[in-house]
Amino acid sequence: MNGKRIGGRYDIEQQIGEGGMAIVYRARDTLLNRTVALKVLRSQFGNDDDFVARFHREAQAAASLSHPNVVNIYDIGQEDEMYYIVMEYIEGMTLKQYINEHAPLDMKKAVDIGMQICDALDHAHQNELIHRDIKPHNILINKYGRIKVTDFGIARAVSSVTITHTGSVLGSVHYFSPEQAKGIAAGVKSDLYSLGVVLYEMLTGELPFSGDSPISVALKHLQESYVAPRKLRPEIPQSLENVIIRAMAKEPMYRYESAREMLEDLQTSLSPERRNEALYLLPEKYGEEEEDPEITRVIPAIKPEMMRKRNWDEEAVSAKETIEVAEKPAVEKEEFETEDKQTKRLPVKKAAGWTAGVFLFLALVGVAIFYGNSLFKVPDVTVPSVQNMSLEEARKTLEGVNLEPVIQKQPSEDVAPDHVIKQTPAANMPVKENSQVQLIVSEGKPKGTMPNFVGKNISDVESQLSGKYKDYKIQKEINDSQPPGTILRQEPLAGQEIVASDTQVTLVVSEGQEKTRVPALKGLTEEEAKARLEEAGLKVQVKTKQSYEPKGTVIDQSRRADNEVERGLYVRITVSDGSLPGESRQVEEPVDVYLNPGERAAIEIKVTDAAGQDKTVHTSVIEQSMKFKVKVVVTPSQDARIQVYKDGQLYEEKEVKYSDVP
């Protein structure tokens, strides 16, 4: 089926599950470009016109449901003899898989799941749709933890047709209600019983009833009591156990009236106010002696075969009484005749005939029972171990001992694809021939979709890469259009299906524009400075200023020499216009700072001269007297002033005149 197109638009990609009624595939809706689940009905159901008609009606009813906890149905169709339903694809796992991995579940988690299922059932019941096959296999958990109930419609269609045609019940024997076990039509409260079983399994990790065959399990639903959840897990509060007791009452009249009522009870089941709640006692179990004989009761309808059986029973009892009267001693017979003179003694021959007839009947019944048991008794077989086998080998092994494999796939980090992770029942257990054996089969390591990192900054995504993938590499690339650190490309591509633990990720990251170093330009001519900047890949801006330096000499630059900058940036140079007369003179002027013994002081020296106003040329902390040499620049029109500050206070001020400098 893989690669086949169904309905002209659904491309089948992979089988993701199979059961007794249908096979489920992941498919691509080419028209709407989305992933869907395609459920294809098995051929034995597709050949029944009555079933197909009901199947269509129920699927249409299920499609009318719109609820966040119900799997959406998108389409229904037929191709040749194949019938299919197109459903919402849920990326996640079944509740059964979740229970297998985490049971027993945290109580808050179990209650939350139960409330979501109740909400879905309440919506369905209000739309007059009964599920009839509530079990963990039909409940999905998506990657965000939301519950999705599936298989509405199909379960109802199958159960109704099968009962009508064969007089048997098709369903999940561990989860169906006592009335389903009897073959009575299931109702709203049947779904609540099944949900009670699911809650029991989530909280304890065990099923309430199990046995060697489906019939033995069904009988336990009808007749036996289950082990109280608190005996298996004492920390379960009584208020929560009471929810299960009420949901799993064998008589529907004692269960919740609706899924909404059960939801409201679950909402408060873990609240402190109900911590000391008493055990809920069912009338069917604990009130038998005080029961009012006039109470209204639910009485099964009388069927023709029941009337026939009753008539036969009355005849048998009459024959038995006749035989006992015929065999009494004469004295007792006379007493009998005295007490009831209206009773006539039967002739001996007639009594003998009745006796022979009864013995003959009993003999025939005994023979029938003996041969019937031999004829209809289903032999036991021992379940072989198929764990870790390939799926094909496991199928052959089970079918070789007349057992039916039921496949359910799930991802696995440890087991190779298409190999058996787990089997139920376990190996070496005795079961009846033709029983089903559930196989959990590996899909290989869990797959996911590669996220899109392009356009993001590498510092924001490195935490997502570390530990999740097999490895990751970062390659840097000069790029004029994207800021440094921006991810330009990735491998694998975004949206590609991957196994994270086997995937090496490569990210190409922008380094920004190409770097260059700023050359030293002071003292050069304007032409020389421009040539140096052009060689370094930088652009130039020129500004002129009055100065005593020769005309055209660079006296300042906007970017510090030897700094690394991006190519193409502007550097502004200040060029002397040579307009001031005379020449500038530079001199080192000594400055002495004296301290008292043990004194410590902060020194700051400022200069105002031809090179600038109020420039700080030195700061330090000294612990002894020191001498400093201070450079100043003087011109014919600009003398120099030196100010020395000690601990923030002016300590000394000196003036250096142009005329005093040689």
Q: Which residues contact 362 (CB under 8 A, 6 or more apart)?
A: none
Q: How many CB atoms lie within 10 A of CB 137?
A: 20
Q: How many CB atoms lie within 10 A of CB 559?
A: 17
Q: Which residues contact 544 (CB under 8 A, 6 or more apart)?
A: 574, 575, 576, 577
Active site residue 133: yes
AA letter at 99: I
Cα gap 45→524, rounded to integer Å: 96
Of the residues 133, 265, 609, 639, only one is catalytic, namely: 133
**Length in residues, the chain:** 662
Half-sphere exposure of 627 (CA within 13 A, CB side): 4
Cα gap 336→349, rounded to integer Å: 20
* Cα–Cα distances in angstroms (integers) from residue 470 to residues 387, 499, 501, in the given order: 28, 9, 5
Strands (E), 513-634: 515-517, 539-545, 554-557, 564-566, 570-576, 585-593, 601-609, 612-622, 626-634
**φ, ψ dihedrals at 391, nearest 5°:** -60, -40
Residue 288 burial (CB < 10 Å; 0-12/13-18/19+)? exposed
Report which of 128, 129, 147, 130 is spatially closest to residue 139, judged by C-alpha positions: 147
Q: Which pair of structure tokens corresponds to residue 408?
A: 């359910």
Q: Which residue has the tokens 């600038």?
A: 612
What H or E segment, with its residue span, contains residue 209?
A: none
Cα gap 466→227, rounded to integer Å: 47
Q: Which residues contact 659 (CB under 8 A, 6 or more apart)?
A: none
**Residue 192 falls in which region: left (phi positive, over 0), alpha (psi -120 to 50) or beta:** alpha
Residue 146 burial (CB < 10 Å; 0-12/13-18/19+)? middle
**φ, ψ dihedrals at 129, nearest 5°:** -125, 120
Residue 385 burial (CB < 10 Å; 0-12/13-18/19+)? middle
Is residue 544 within 8 Å of 572, Cβ to Cβ?
A: no
Cα gap 300→298, rounded to integer Å: 7
Is residue 111 within 8 Å of 94, Cβ to Cβ?
A: no
Q: Is 522 annotated as a binding residue?
A: no
Residue 637 burial (CB < 10 Å; 0-12/13-18/19+)? exposed
Known binding positions: 39
- Residues tagged active-site: 133
Known binding positions for ATP: 39
